[in-house]
Each structure stands twice: as C-alpha cells, then as structure tokens.
Amino acid sequence: MQKEKEDEIPADANAAKAEESGDESEVSAALDELKKEVGELRKALAARPVADIDAAAGRREEPKLTKEALAKMSQAEVARLDWNEVRRVLSAG
C-alpha cells in the first residue's frame, strides 16, 4: 500500500509545480483566446441591424371601425361586431 502512494507522488516536487504552471498557462492562453473571440462576436452582433419580431406580440389590432365601413357591411357582419364599439363610432358623429 505504501508503495502505491509513493508511485502516485512525483519524485521531484519542482517538476510537478512546473507541470501545473504549464497547464495553467495553457488554460490562461485558451481563456484569452476565448475572450478575444467573444469580443469579436459582440462587435459583429452590435453592427447587425435588429429586427424585433416580437414588437407586436400580444397585441391584436382590430381594423378601425368607421361609419363608412359600417354602411358597406352586411347585416351578418354587423351582428358579429362589438356593439360597444359600434355605438361609440355611431355616437362620435
């Protein structure tokens, strides 16, 4: 058992530290590269025009009801309308 633990520990502690610092520098270099790429992507995305596809999400705009529109409608179409809206349009004059 003692022999197994000794095999796991490097003989030279300085070699182990050098190996770790080498790994750390590789990781640091990789992170720097990623930061650079993210910065470039942000610049590219900021330059693109934004099309807000959700600008009217949840809104349902009904066509404006007018007296002229009412006059052109059939009785069945008028019957399906919101009568409060019809009264408002007719009373507006």
Q: DSSP for 16-37?
A: HHHHHHHHHHHHHHHHHHHHHH
pLDDT of residue 5: 54
Sign of the C-alpha dihedral computed for residues 19, 20, 25 and 31 taken in this order = positive
Contacts (Cβ under 8 Å, ≥6 apart) of 65: 81, 85, 86, 89
pTM for the model stands at 0.33
pLDDT of residue 64: 76
For 13-60, write each residue's pLDDT tens digit: 555 555 666 788 899 999 999 999 999 988 888 887 766 666 666 666
Output b/e per residue, 8-18; b: 16+ Cβ within 10 A.
eeeeeeeeeee
Domain coordinates in residue numbering, the chain: 2-92
